[in-house]
Amino acid sequence: MVVSVGIDVSKDKHDCFIVNSDGEVLADVFTIPNTLDGFHCLLQRIQDCTAPQDKIKVGLEATGHYSYNLLGFLLNNGLPTYVLNPLRTNLYRKSLSLRKTKTDRVDARTIASMLLSDAGLKPYTNTAYHNEELKSLTRYRFDKVKERTKLKSSIARLVCILFPELEKLVPSLHITSVYALLGEFPGAKQIAAVHLTRLKALLETASKGRYKRDMALEIREAARTSIASPMPAKSLELQHTIRLIRELDREIDEIEEQIQSIMDELHSPLTTIPGLGFRMAAMILAEVGDFTRFDSPDKLLAYAGMSPSTYQSGQLKNCYPHMEKRGSRYLRYALYNATKYVCHWDPAFADYLAKKRAEGKHYNIAISHAAKKLVRLIFAMEKSRQPYCSAA
């Protein structure tokens, strides 16, 4: 006998429903608080409704941090737990009734019914649960890097106002020596007034000897003839923005140290792929979780939302299918960016990309084809646990 437990998760309480494969309701919808006592109450109800020979299935939706503690409790107590895609349960609920009805009680019943009807569902594993640590770090780093990128755009905007000529004198505005210069002298007026000896010492120290007196003289002369107007408010904003970027640099370094230590423990073969650094490899591993959940690379590709969408009705068929773009946007980001670097460093992938480009495909389309090839490679390597061996 299969006993299905459906749980609708929320912040402060969880609605639960227990039914068996014969359709007999063993426990109508009941509510437990999101506390340890509530978790033990749920475990006791499940034990009271089941026999030792029963096969238990516990299902809940992927609701982020709200379900994390309950999920850990269920796994620690040896209960086969299924984490369901909310989109999938929503479509299943709509298929059961034409009425527009959605409540916590209905959702609990829907989840329990879905567990009984879909034999293809695979339980959540301890591997995937403990992988949440890596997922938290990689997503946190992603957000920090995105925040830093926005601040760098602000730097470019402010320099265009305060000292537009500087951009033509240096290879990039976002290097240590430029930040050191603008952090102390945030504008053409301040740089024009500084003594050459002090300016030379600042640039030489910050650039580790790359920029000397000639560069200091060139920058000061450009500042003296600059079209910039003195704007104290913008200068203050520039200094604060540089401080924020430096702080973010330190935070990102700390996060990457933690990611590196976890990757060292995992010994993943993915890092042996040319061009695939530990950061992108970590994000891919974190978002995929347990590779045993997927029967084929195509299912992993669909999970990433990178499979082509299809629409066909009668003689109508979409001629230019687009990516579905469902699932984890972090996984799509990691796969897409990893593919660009792998195509640059690995001859086999470089040839494959060149072949797709020769067929007349746009660069982004060609990269998406190479990404599918990379997904197949990643899937095979994680299954075999063997390092990368180039076919070229």
Write phi, then psi, for 99 (nearest 5 degrees).
Answer: -75, 145
* Tokens 């109450």 belong to residue: 41
Which residues in the chain come in under a pLDDT of 50?
none
List, in order, residues 6 or more apart from 311 with CB less than 8 Å away: 317, 318, 321
Rounded CA-CA distance 179/176 in Å is 5
For position 119, what pLDDT does the model report?
65
For position 117, what pLDDT does the model report?
84
Q: How far is CA 350 from the centre of its chain?
A: 25
For position 301, what pLDDT does the model report?
86
For position 93, what pLDDT does the model report?
74
pLDDT digit string, tens, across residues 21-64: 888 889 999 999 999 999 999 999 999 988 888 899 999 988 77
Q: Do the bridges between strand 316-317 and strand 312-313 make them parallel or antiparallel, or are there none, so unpaired? A: antiparallel
For position 101, what pLDDT does the model report?
62
For position 323, what pLDDT does the model report?
59
Long-range contacts of 76-81 (CB under 8 A, 24+ apart): 77/43, 79/43, 79/46, 80/55, 80/56, 80/123, 81/123, 81/124
pLDDT digit string, tens, across residues 311-364: 555 555 555 556 556 667 899 999 999 999 999 999 999 999 999 999 999 998
Gyration radius from the chain CA atoms: 28
For position 345, what pLDDT does the model report?
94
The pTM of this model reads 0.77
